[in-house]
Amino acid sequence: MMKRNIIIAVCCILVLCALNGCRLAKEDAGANAHEDRLIGIFITTEYIDLFDFESYLNDNFNSFQGGEINIGGRNTQKYQGRFYAVLVPRTHTNEETGETILTHEYVFEGIQGIQYCVPTIEATEEENSYIATMSDPAVSDVHTSFNYGDDENSVSLEGTIYVASSKKSRIYFINPVYQSPDGSVYLVSGGSHEFTSEGYGEGSAYSQTIEASTTATENGKVMKDAVSIKITLSVIFAPEKIVVLQMNADNTPISQAEYTPDAFPDVIALETGAAYFIVETHKRDGMGSLLTSRDIYGKDVESIETFIAREDDICIKHWTQITT
């Protein structure tokens, strides 16, 4: 009973340390996944606590000597938990033909976050296995590449999350996502970055790259499998109003339309005689002062891009098709 009470007291100390901003040093959360493949990230604004503190304290109670409890440096791999995703079917309908397509995606149920990963969807009786790119709308400028060689296969994922300039300071936790040889997908708790956008100009950014590699021997030949994931958090001033001007060859406006960002159309028709577009975005800088940025598009452009700010300060890219 005495030992149990001490363990409870230590747990309370850990909670108090967390509330007061203290950090416990610990081993890389992805270390226990060395036999599995890194396939992406899942970004959250809340820490996903998967570490089994009770078992750890019970197993290591006699080695504590007071002071800071340093979890790093001990064998902690078996205490690092996993949060498994669920494979969910999705039906997509072609609006023009009415044809439906069945796909599958991995979902981390009960956790809100931004996912960007490339899991392998296992083969079924109806279809062969394939690699799916699962990218949340919050991830813009997505670039995913696969390279296959004689001795090494590599995957590269890059994307940008645009964060509206705000007085709020947000903490983003970048949680690695892995896939086991049996096809199961899970995440482990990752590191954090405090992102303060107030006072920074558009384009100010923070980037983090996660890399991992595994090797396997097949028919006596060693193959390396390498993965690199780069995610960038970039400051943007949230748009308040967007004005589209269609200009003729004499640089005279022939039409003008004004929209709120969330009501920007999916399709804009090119006016007769239009030579190019000017898209004005009205917004406020980090000091609250009004400013306008302008983008010019030729008449042959297929689409134009604007931004919509969500309640969580993430700005989503919106693509508008230009038709003749």
Q: Per residue, what are the HEC states of 114-167?
A: EEEECCEECCCCCCCCEECCEECCCCEEEEEEEEECCCEEEEEEEEEEEEECCC
- Same structural domain, 254 and 282: yes
pLDDT for the residue numbered 62: 60
Give the CA distances from residue 304 to residues 137, 190, 298, in Å, rounded to whole numbers and listed in that order.
17, 36, 10
Shared-domain flag, residues 251 and 221: no
Burial of 36 (0-12, 13-18, 19+ CB in 10 A): buried
Assess whether 107 and 133 both reside in one domain. yes
Which of 205, 232, 259 represents a domain boundary (last residue)? 232
In a domain, 71, yes or no: no
Q: Does residue 297 lie within any of the structural domains?
A: yes
Structure token pair of residue 66: 């007071």
Rg from Cα positions in the chain: 25
302 and 205, same domain (yes or no): no
Q: Give the least confident one: 6-20, 119-133, 275-289.
A: 6-20
In a domain, 25, yes or no: no
Say whether pLDDT at 320 is over 60.
Answer: yes
The last residue of one of the domains, among 232, 256, 277, is: 232
Looking at 213, 232, 251, the residue that finishes a domain is: 232
pLDDT in tens, 64-101: 555 555 555 556 666 678 999 999 988 878 777 878 88
List Cβ neighbours of 58 (8 Å cut-off, separation of 6 or more): 7
Which pLDDT score, from 0 to 100, does residue 146 have?
Answer: 94
Task: Tell me what the mean pLDDT of segment 220-245 comes to.
Answer: 92
pTM summary value: 0.77
**Domain identity same for 272 and 152:** no
Q: Are residues 193 and 297 in the same domain?
A: no
Report helix, strand or coil for 107: strand
Q: Is the domain of 248 the same as that of 115?
A: no
- 49 Ramachandran zone, left/alpha/beta (phi>0; psi -120 to 50): beta
Dihedral through CA 298, CA 303, CA 307, CA 312, nearest 10? -160
Q: Are residues 176 and 131 in the same domain?
A: yes
Residue 55 lies in a domain: no
CA distance 150 to 164: 44
Task: State residue 15's pLDDT score.
Answer: 32
How confident is the model over 294-310, as pLDDT tens digits?
999 999 999 999 999 99
Report the pLDDT value the prediction gives residue 298, as an integer from 0 to 100.
94
The answer as to whether 74 is a domain residue is: no
In this structure, what token pair is assigned to residue 42? Answer: 């899942």
Q: Are 153 and 224 in contact (CB under 8 A)?
A: yes
Do 211 and 149 lie in a common domain? yes
Q: Is 184 helix (H, G, I), strand (E, B) or coil?
A: coil
Question: Quick check: 9 pLDDT over 50?
Answer: no
Tell me the mean pLDDT in the region 223-245: 93
Tell whether 195 is covered by a domain: yes
Give the number of other Cβ atoms within 10 Å of residue 180's Cβ.
14
Number of domains in the chain: 2
Residues 135 and 275 in one domain: no
pLDDT, averaged across the chain: 82
Check residue 20 and give its pLDDT: 32
Domain that holds residue 271: 239-323
| Cα separation, 306 vs 257, whole angstroms | 14
Structural domain contains residue 118: yes
- Chain centroid to Cα 26, Å, comes to 23
On whether residue 283 sits in a domain, the answer given is yes
Phi, psi at 78, each rounded to 5°: -70, -10
Q: Which range among 93-107, 141-155, 230-244, 271-285 shows the weakest confidence by mean pLDDT? A: 93-107
Same domain for 225 and 110? yes
Q: Report phi then psi at 23, rounded to 5.
A: -120, 135
Q: Are residues 207 and 287 in the same domain?
A: no
